[in-house]
């Protein structure tokens, strides 16, 4: 939107076939016709991933990577680096101050930390928590953290035995000592999970739910109910899933022994993990950066047919609630719906949500910022801006 103009958005539900998806009503007014009701539409527009690009043919010119933002892409090497130059026509004056920005991918945590300490880079995300005390001691370096929807999981494909048995899934949930993992892997930088992706940072977080705690005796009883005296399953992990994922899987394996469960930890290569392991191996390690709203999180990771549904978990009541809650404008009714959904996931869902991890970044004192956003790492994915 050019300076001096305002964009007013009004959403209306209409039959999808009756009207075009987006229609210009009058100058400077945009009417968006939704295929389904969405009570969170304003929040969706505020997501860092929701960007505006130039039109091209019948769609948008997304390959140029240049839109309405503060920077223009000068060079882009996927998975390696991006070079950005300030957009001289940027319409805001309160952000986007750098003339040039280098975004560099440094997968190795030690190399990433050394790049900051040596001055090669001015800020890094995903600080290695095992060495965080050493990073804090470095002159000219500041460590910062925010708590948001980032969470670490062990998803099970529920269309594959033995994970198609809800008692087996619940037994595994009671076979992991989350406090141990929070202390040893996250070094206290996070909070305990309860097998639902909705944590304390969410508006409709159900804080009153019963907790899935470490209880080997209960796990044994659940396994016996399913006909398993002893259970042996493979658990695939790589630190590509999250920093310390392999160590977390090894700790989980030790915890599970008391339940009569043998977890065979398979250390997978970091390269190709998301293509070859996640969504393919029956039991694996994963992380979710999370989404600003409950409806977005559930739509991305738990809706039937969603590309990132990593548990292949069907539940008719959950899906009914998911669709209804996304459209519900009454906050009290919505709270009740999301509470029931979280309870269903806690007991029956296919993902072990171990913990909500804080986003930890470190920066040089040569730069500064205002209040950090907590919905995602690196200032809500807006660090460049």
> How far is residue 238's CA from residue 241's CA, in Å, rounded to a whole number?
6
Amino acid 116: pLDDT: 95
pTM to 2 decimals? 0.83
pLDDT tens column, 261-304: 999 999 999 999 999 999 999 999 999 998 889 999 999 999 99
pLDDT in tens, 91-134: 899 999 999 999 999 988 899 999 999 999 999 998 989 899 99
Q: What is the pLDDT of residues 280-290, one digit of tens each?
A: 999 999 999 98
Q: What is the DSSP string of 199-255?
A: -TTSTT--TTSPP----HHHHHHHHHHTT-SSEEEEEEE-TTTSTTHHHHHHHHHHH
Residue ranges in the chain assigned as alpha helix (H): 41-45, 109-117, 132-136, 166-173, 178-184, 216-225, 245-256, 273-276, 294-301, 316-327, 331-348, 377-381
Q: Coil, helix or strand for 23?
A: strand
For residue 164, the Cα-to-chain-centroid distance in whole angstroms is 25
pLDDT in tens, 210-243: 999 999 999 999 999 999 988 999 999 999 999 8
Contacts of 183 (CB under 8 A, 6+ apart): none
Residue 34 has pLDDT above 80, yes or no: yes
Residue 138 CA to residue 47 CA, distance in Å, equals 34
Beta-bridge mates of residue 267: 237
CB of 203 within 8 A of CB of 294? yes
Q: Tell me the average pLDDT across 151-165.
A: 97
């Amino acid at each position: 939107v050019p300076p001096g103009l305002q964009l007013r958005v009004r959403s209306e539900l209409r039959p999808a076939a009756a009207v075009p998806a987006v229609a210009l009503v009058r100058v400077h007014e945009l009417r968006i016709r939704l295929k389904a009701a969405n009570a969170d539409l304003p929040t969706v527009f505020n997501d860092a991933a929701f960007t505006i690009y130039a039109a091209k043919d019948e769609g948008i010119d997304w390959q140029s990577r240049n839109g309405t933002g503060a920077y223009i892409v000068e060079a882009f090497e996927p998975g390696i680096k991006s070079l950005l130059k300030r957009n001289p026509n940027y319409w805001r004056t309160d952000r986007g101050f750098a003339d040039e920005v280098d975004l560099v991918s440094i997968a190795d945590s030690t190399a990433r930390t050394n790049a900051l300490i040596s001055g090669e880079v001015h800020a890094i995300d995903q600080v290695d928590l095992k060495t965080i005390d050493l990073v804090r001691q470095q002159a000219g370096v500041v460590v910062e953290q925010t708590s948001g929807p980032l969470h670490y999981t062990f998803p099970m494909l529920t269309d594959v035995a033995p994970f198609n048995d809800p008692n087996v899934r619940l037994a595994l949930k009671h076979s992991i000592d989350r406090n141990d993992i929070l202390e040893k892997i996250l070094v206290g930088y996070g909070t305990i999970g309860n097998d639902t992706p909705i944590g304390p940072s969410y508006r409709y977080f159900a804080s009153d739910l019963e907790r899935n705690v470490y209880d080997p005796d209960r796990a044994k009883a659940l396994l016996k109910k399913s006909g398993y005296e002893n259970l042996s399953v493979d658990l695939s992990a790589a630190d590509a899933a999250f920093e310390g994922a392999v160590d977390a899987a090894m700790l989980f394996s030790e915890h599970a022994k008391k339940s009569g469960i043998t977890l065979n930890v398979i250390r997978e290569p970091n390269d190709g993990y998301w293509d070859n392991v996640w969504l393919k191996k029956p039991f694996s390690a994963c992380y979710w950066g999370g989404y600003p709203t409950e409806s977005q999180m559930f739509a991305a990771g738990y809706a039937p047919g969603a590309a990132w549904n990593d548990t292949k978990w069907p539940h008719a009541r959950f899906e009914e609630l998911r669709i209804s809650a996304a459209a519900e404008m009454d906050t009290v009714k919505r709270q009740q719906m999301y509470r029931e959904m979280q309870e269903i996931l806690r007991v029956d869902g296919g993902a072990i949500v171990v913990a909500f991890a804080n986003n930890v970044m470190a920066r040089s004192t040569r730069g500064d910022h205002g209040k950090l956003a907590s919905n995602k790492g690196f200032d809500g994915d807006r660090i460049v801006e």
